[in-house]
Amino acid sequence: MTKLHVSQHPLILHKLTALRDVETDHRSFRELMRELALLLCYEATLDLKLSPKTVTTPMGEAHGHKSEETIGLVPVLRAGLGMVEGVLQLLPSVQVWHIGLYRDEETLRPVEYYNRLPDEPTVQVCLVLDPMLATGGSAIATVDILKRWGVPRIKYVGIIAAPEGVERLSSAHPDVPIHVACVDERLNDVGFIVPGLGDAGDRQFGT
Ligand code: PRP
């Protein structure tokens, strides 16, 4: 059961193209990533659970709603950091739990180097933020960590995916919806997405 959501939103497609452009400098790259993260999370939160809430307007009572789930953002270091600020504009009261993973250049396997999750889960929904879903190894490892932590509902929010990454993540975790702006052609022989955008961490941080 693949739950792949590829955005068709014109603003997302426009900003994605600018993000990919090799002429885009670090400052604009960070700004675009912030905006794309906000828009993609807006789409990814379409099914958040609500409970009834009544408020009093100057004209009387209005029967409305309030969001009832505790949400956590889980940016995957480093590149996921650039997605946090935009999502916090949309969801200012959520928790942010960082996970540090890097991809071994030889094996392409993820290596965990930062995880300060407490023993018990403190959120009901996690949005994993990482712009690039390449082989899928980092996303699978992150979801593994969150499931072991005991989070009941997990969503992956990325910007560009390779077909290989979508396939691996949805086979390993069929319950985790994948929200991206685009699924690109393929991975190259060193595990980079083609055409992709290069190294999302390096392009954000000028390294
Ligand atoms: C990139 C990217 C993902 C991962 C994707 O991070 O941000 O975390 O690779 O690759 P995968 O799907 O094959 O696991 P990288 O390891 O380059 O670390 P960085 O963000 O610190 O640059």
> What's 157's domain CATH number?
3.40.50.2020
Question: Tens of pLDDT along 171-201?
Answer: 999 999 999 999 999 999 999 999 999 999 9
Residue 91 parent element (H or E): none
φ, ψ dihedrals at 54, nearest 5°: -105, 135
Average pLDDT over residues 26-31: 97
- Spatial CB neighbours of 13, under 8 Å, sequence gap ≥ 6: 7, 181, 182
Residue 123 has pLDDT above 90, yes or no: yes
115 is in which domain, residue-wise? 4-205
Average pLDDT over residues 150-159: 98
Residue with CA at minimum distance from ligand 1 atom 2: 132
Nearest ligand 1 atom to the CA of 133 is: 12
Number of domains into which the chain is organized: 1
* pLDDT averaged over every residue in the chain: 96
Average pLDDT over residues 124-143: 98
Catalytic residues: 103, 107, 199, 202
Give the dihedral sign, CA 150/180/6/104.
negative
Residue 2 has pLDDT above 70, yes or no: no
75 pocket-lining for ligand 1 (C-beta < 6 Å): no
Residue 4 pLDDT level (bands cut at 50, 70, 90): very high
Share of the chain above pLDDT 90, in %: 98
Q: How far is CA 189 from the centre of its chain?
A: 25
Average pLDDT over residues 60-65: 98
pLDDT for the residue numbered 1? 54
Using alpha carbons, select from 160, 149, 152 the residue that is nearest to residue 70. Answer: 152
Q: Give the Cα separation of 182 and 19 in Å (integer).
A: 12
> Separation of 184 CA from ligand 1 center, angstroms?
16
φ, ψ dihedrals at 2, nearest 5°: -85, 125
> Separation of 119 CA from ligand 1 center, angstroms?
26
136 pocket-lining for ligand 1 (C-beta < 6 Å): yes
Residue 144 pLDDT level (bands cut at 50, 70, 90): very high
pLDDT for the residue numbered 105? 87
> Separation of 57 CA from ligand 1 center, angstroms?
48
Residue 114 pLDDT level (bands cut at 50, 70, 90): very high
Residue with CA at minimum distance from ligand 1 atom 18: 102
Residue with CA at minimum distance from ligand 1 atom 19: 78
Contact between residue 4 and residue 178 where contact means Cβ atoms under 8 Å apart: yes
